[in-house]
């Protein structure tokens, strides 16, 4: 089982790292709500005057992480964004360290990021146009083969209105209008090239 990964700069100003999630438990049945990797992905995008954290989770070596983070963030204004209610993770700790903001209103987003709200799927994805990067929460995940796939039906079972993969596919089709290069998933391996084509294969 792979361990946590230190922050990797995917493009100038765009970073991703993984951290072990404390709620993960071994032995989940395939396709069940608990069937996900113990290490989850987190994203940091640095703009000229702001630092945008997406679903951040502190890794085991928090001291080393903070040291790295302090150097990257510098004096920038920090904004912490959350894709889905289950990804609260370490957002309060990150915002608290830098006197930053946990973004709760999508009406006043910081520069450099756009919100894609999929209410029926209980998720907000974020689009970073400067990087061609899409940051999903639980609805798009790594497929263990270098691509992306829709989440299992069981991950949608808690929604008030029934939604299966067919319905989710239809709901997410507006993503095909974006020139996506990277899909920086929380669960599984990120897709770093060919994002638009990968989305076309699963959504069209």
Residue 1 has pLDDT above 60, yes or no: no
Q: What is the pLDDT of residues 185-194, one digit of tens each?
A: 999 999 999 9
Which residues contact residue 45 at a Cβ distance below 8 angstroms, ignoring those fewer than 6 apart?
13, 14, 15, 51, 52, 54, 112, 113, 128, 131, 133
Reported in sequence order, the residue ranges of 123-167 that DSSP labels E, i.e. its strands, are: 123-128, 133-135, 140-142, 148-150
Per-residue pLDDT tens digits for 63-120 = 999 999 999 999 999 999 999 999 999 999 999 999 999 999 888 899 999 999 999 9
pLDDT band per the 50, 70, 90 thresholds, residue 181: very high
Please tell me whether residue 172 adopts helix, strand or coil conformation.
coil
Long-range contacts of 59-66, Cβ-Cβ distance < 8 Å, separation of 24 or more: 59/4, 59/6, 59/17, 59/18, 59/19, 59/20, 60/4, 60/19, 60/20, 65/7, 65/17, 66/97
Q: Which tens digits make up the pLDDT trace of 125-152?
A: 999 999 999 999 999 999 989 899 999 9
Residues of the chain with pLDDT > 70, as a percent, come to: 99
User: CATH: 1.20.1290.10, 3.20.20.210, 3.40.50.2000, 3.60.15.10. Which one for 8-203?
Assistant: 3.60.15.10
* Average pLDDT across the chain, whole number: 95
* Model pLDDT, residue 202: 95
Per the CB < 8 A criterion, the answer to whether 200 and 179 are in contact is no
User: Does the pLDDT of residue 204 top 90, yes or no?
Assistant: no
Residue-wise burial string across 151-188, b where 16 or more C-beta atoms lie within 10 A, e elsewhere: bbeebbeeeeeebeeebbeebbeebeebebbbbbbbbb
Q: pTM of the predicted model, to two decimals? A: 0.96
């Amino acid at each position: 089982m792979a361990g946590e990964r230190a922050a990797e700069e995917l493009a100038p100003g765009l970073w991703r790292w993984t951290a072990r999630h404390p709620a993960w438990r071994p032995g989940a049945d395939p396709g069940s709500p608990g069937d996900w990797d113990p290490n989850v992905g987190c994203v940091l995008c640095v703009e000229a005057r702001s630092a945008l954290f997406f679903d951040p989770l502190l890794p085991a070596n928090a001291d080393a992480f903070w040291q790295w983070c302090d150097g990257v963030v510098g004096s920038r204004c920090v904004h912490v964004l959350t894709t889905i209610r289950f990804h609260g993770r370490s957002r309060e700790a990150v915002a608290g360290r830098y006197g930053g903001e946990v973004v709760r209103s999508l009406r006043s987003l910081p520069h450099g990021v756009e919100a894609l709200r999929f209410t029926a799927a209980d998720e907000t994805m974020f689009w970073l146009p400067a990087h061609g990067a899409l940051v999903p929460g639980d609805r798009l995940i790594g497929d263990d083969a270098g691509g992306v796939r829709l989440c299992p039906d069981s991950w949608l079972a808690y929604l008030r209105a029934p939604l299966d993969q067919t319905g989710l596919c239809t709901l997410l089709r507006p993503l095909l209008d974006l020139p996506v290069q990277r899909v920086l998933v929380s669960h599984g391996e990120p897709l770093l090239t060919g994002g638009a084509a990968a989305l076309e294969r699963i959504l069209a």
